[in-house]
Amino acid sequence: MTTKYELPPFDLRTAMDTLATQDPALASLIRETQEFRVERGSAESPYEVLLEAIAYQSISGKAAATIYGRIKALSATGRAPTPQEMLKLRKPVLRKAGLSGAKILAMKDLAKKTLDGVVPTLEQAEKLSDEELVKRLVSVRGIGAWTVEMFLIFRLGRPDILPIHDLGVKKGWSVAYGKKHMPKPKELLAFGERWRPYRTVASWYMWRAFDRAGYAATNKIRPAKVRKRRKQTATRSKTRRGNAS
């Protein structure tokens, strides 16, 4: 099914106007690039979104799509296997579909936690806070904060999510603010305080800055600077020399 896009559940115009006023660098990006949209695809529930995310981890999109297609073919409906179906599927069958042992364990843990109520339904998720959703969903084997943040941004349209470990956001920030290095996660988190309560929208425009710059430019952006502890090193050297004598 083709993914559809729609406006987020918050006032996007207010968000963009607020960010443009607070941050001149964002103002031009907002004027010149596309607006933020929420995805509305075939996978709507947290369970389905996370099941697909697990299938796509650490492999190319094309290969993952093929494997996930095989997983869906194991369901009675041709959609993602229900949690009950996933728990009944035997490991050799899932292996044959192309899943690694780690992904099989992750999918079965996801299914179990969905039936136990740890992973909420979409309706329940919409009523939970960002913090509670992150806490619940990262408890699933193989699911990290980044995957949950993408769900919060692109499926739920939460307005104030800042994925500080996302490569596109970090490199987009470097492009937007004329930096040769990527920011450290803590640096990006501190910088992003000026974007509250619309850090999701700001992150979206960091991705747009990354896209517009192109790989030739963004590949030149260096990793975050690491401070050299010269004083500590010098002190340790003196101590060692003193002990040796």
* Closest to 51 in 3D by CA, of 94, 92, 91, 80: 80
- Torsional class of 98: left (φ above 0), alpha (ψ -120 to 50), beta (otherwise): left
Closest CA to 176 of 146, 223, 212: 212
In the chain, what's the furthest Cα-to-Cα distance?
78
The residue among 154, 75, 141, 74 whose CA lies nearest residue 114 is 141
Options 23, 109, 160, 166, the catalytic residue:
166
Helix, strand or coil, per DSSP, at residue 181: strand
Classify 119 as helix, strand or coil: coil
Catalytic residue check, 166 = yes
* Residue 102, H or E segment: helix 101-115
Q: Which residues does the annotation mark as catalytic? A: 166
